[in-house]
Structure 1
């Protein structure tokens, strides 16, 4: 992939060469996600990438606007940084109309997206006139959610995801960011990735988690508030015991002074974090086709029989010392 850069008014100037690139995009809105860094050696810096410059790979989501320049004589580097296009959407808020408790939307989903993104980024972000056949009536956004999270959750509720990509303009014209709804695709049945296909994944299938949590609240000795929480065979947390004998794994949760409601709420959170879990990490040099954030993928280790199936949560594109890599993180991975 080749990274184009422009001047501050969007005129294309050329390609970024001889630089290290780190660009991360994803559905999670943590501060370290949906931004980019491009590091130049000081000897290779010509000053043409500046505040307001756009950087992008045409027809992909990789890109953003330079909003920070860091220089280090010790590291012999100059680094430009900014939010990706998706990151810019995390910095806009969907607000209720005056006198209303929630922001509400009705209509075809691409029509709703078009209205929201063009209002937030006039003249730069555009929706599409493309009828998906999916109509919503009085869809209720979470109060003061971000534009990205609001649209993402709206689409997820109907089996769709956001597609974001930069459309390159003519030679002397500025391009624009296009946002639209596309169906979530489950590729796990069509492809099964393994280490035979230039893919590496790790899977930690941990079945030694806690399945019985004794929660201790206010009171003393025999008068102390006690709540027993259990995990069932499907991983749900409740107050009916499933695992017994050698399969029962117990711990206590001491929250002295807690009333019943707080003890129950915090105990459920504690047990959810301590129960059996399966964690995945997946890395590929390249995935052919149109798989993207929100689509579902699968993988298998034929030696152990370990397999996984989960949505793609993040993509990290890096160029380091001239070597390019795309790393895929599954939903919920740190």
Structure 2
């Protein structure tokens, strides 16, 4: 892939050459940086990259606007940094209307995206008019969530994901960021990644987690509020013991003295979620063929132990270092 630079007005002025490049894009704000860094030796710095310069790889999500420039004379390097297009969306907040508890949205997916991003980034971000055929009715955003997190969660609730791509402008004209909704692809059967593919991964199928949580709330002794929560073989939590019994039952206490029933159940579920049996899977993938993007689902299997699972792509990291290019894919939740 090539990285193109522009002037401060978004008009292309050439390629970024002789640089080390590091772009990270991710769907989950908790474990994704969503920024970029371009490192040049001082003798390769020609001053064409300035504050406000756009850098982008055409028709991909890799791109952003330079907002920080640092220099280090001890190592003879200059670094240009900024947020990616997705990262910029994490710096806008969806706010409830005055007098309302929550911000809401109704309508077709792309029409909602278009109205929100074009209002926040006029002349730079554009939605699309294509109709997905999918609508939401009075969708409730989390209070004061970021524009990015709100749209990602809304789309995920109906099996869609954000697609972000920089589109080149005509000769002498600025390009723009195109944002749209596309279906999440479950490619776990098509892309089953194993150690035979030279993919490095670590699995941990932990089945010794808590499956019965006894939650203790307000009151004393026999008058104390007690709620029993159970996790079944699929990890689903309820107040009915349906699966693990006898020797298979693993119990623990959650002490929340003073808690009323609703709070005790809410916090008890959160506690059991963190302590129930779980599968963790960390994988480093440096090459995936085909059209796979953030949010799409891939599978993995260790044929020796039989451990398998499927998970969404959570992050992509594009680097060029000493002329060598690499794209690393990380699963959702990986550090």
Identify whether the pair has TM-score above 0.5, normalized to the shorter chain: yes
Show the counterpart of 1:249.
250
Give the 5 Å matches for 1:132-147.
132-147=132-147
The Cα offsets for residues 76-97 of structure 1, whole Å up to 9 and x where unpaired, read as 4322221111111111222334
Are the counterparts in 1 of residues 58 and 166 from structure 2 also a CA contact under 8 Å? Answer: yes
**Measured at CA, do residues 321 and 219 of structure 1 come closer, stay the same or move farther in structure 2, by a change above 3 Å?**
farther
Partner residue in 2 for 1:293: 294
Contact 1:165 1:179 in 2 (8 A): yes
Q: Which residue of 2 aligns with 1:191?
A: 191
Q: What do you get for the CA RMSD once the two structures are aligned?
A: 2.6
> How big is the shift at 1:162?
1.2
Give the SS at the match of 1:17.
coil
Task: Give the drift of 1:32.
Answer: 4.8
The 1:101–1:231 alpha-carbon spacing in structure 2 relative to 1, beyond 3 Å, is: closer
Give the Cα–Cα distance (whole angstroms) in 2 for the partners of residues 210 and 105 of structure 1: 38
Q: Which residue matches 1:328?
A: 329
Aligned residues of 1:231 and 1:275 also touching (Cα < 8 A) = yes
**Cα gap change, 1:58/1:301 in structure 2, threshold over 3 Å: closer, same or farther?**
same
Question: Is contact 2:69–2:78 with CA below 8 Å preserved after alignment?
Answer: yes
Q: SS where residue 265 of structure 1 aligns?
A: helix
Task: Please say if residues 282 and 327 of structure 1, whose CA atoms lie closer than 8 Å, have aligned partners that are also in contact.
Answer: no
More moved, 272-281 vs 246-255: 246-255
* Structure 2 CA distance for aligned equivalents of residues 135 and 244 of structure 1: 43
The residue aligned with 1:59 is: 59
CA distance in 1, matches of 2:329, 2:304: 22
**1:151-230 to 2 correspondence within 5 Å?**
151-215=151-215, 227-230=227-230
Secondary structure, aligned partner of 2:192: coil
Query: Is the CA contact (8 Å cut-off) linking 2:312 and 2:331 kept in structure 1?
Result: yes
CA distance in structure 1 between the partners assigned to 2:72 and 2:81 by the alignment: 14
Deviations 1:1-59 (A, max 9, x none): 11111222212222223332221111112385211122233343333222111111100
SS state of the match for residue 201, structure 2? strand
TM-score (ref. length: structure 2)? 0.88
221 and 75 in structure 1: CA distance in 2 versus 1, 3 angstrom threshold: farther
Q: Does structure 2 conserve the Cα–Cα contact (< 8 Å) formed by 1:279 and 1:333? A: no
Q: Distance in 2 between matches of 1:207 and 1:321?
A: 44
Distance of aligned partners of 1:113 and 1:219 in 2 relative to their CA distance in 1, 3 Å threshold: closer
**Aligned twin of 1:95:** 95
Are the structure 2 counterparts of residues 159 and 239 from structure 1 closer, same or farther at C-alpha, using a change threshold of 3 Å? closer
Q: Where in structure 2 are there 5+ consecutive unaligned residues?
A: none
Question: What is residue 267 of structure 1 aligned with on the other side?
Answer: 268
SS of match in other structure, 2:185: coil
Q: CA deviation at 1:101?
A: 4.0
Distance 1:311 1:31 in 2: 14
Q: Is the 8 A contact 2:215 2:255 kept in 1?
A: yes
Specify the SS of the correspondent of 2:266: helix
Cα distance in structure 2, aligned partners of 1:22 and 1:258: 50
Unmatched 5+ residue regions in structure 1?
none
Provide the rounded CA distance (Å) in 2 between the counterparts of 1:24 and 1:82. Answer: 11
| Equivalent residue, structure 2, for 1:282 | 283
1:192 shift after superposition: 2.2
Partner of 1:309: 310
Report 1:15-26 matches (<5 A): 15-26=15-26
Q: Distance in 1 between matches of 2:326 and 2:28?
A: 21
* Number of residues of Structure 1 aligned to a counterpart in Structure 2: 333
TM-score (norm 1): 0.88
Tell whether the 8 Å contact from 1:3 to 1:57 is kept in structure 2 after alignment. Answer: yes
Separation in 1 of the partners of 2:94 and 2:260?
36
Note closer, same or farther for the CA distance 1:238–1:138 as it changes in structure 2 (3 Å cut). closer
Query: Is contact 2:114-2:126 (8 Å) kept?
Result: yes
Structure 1: distance between partners of 2:284 and 2:185: 19
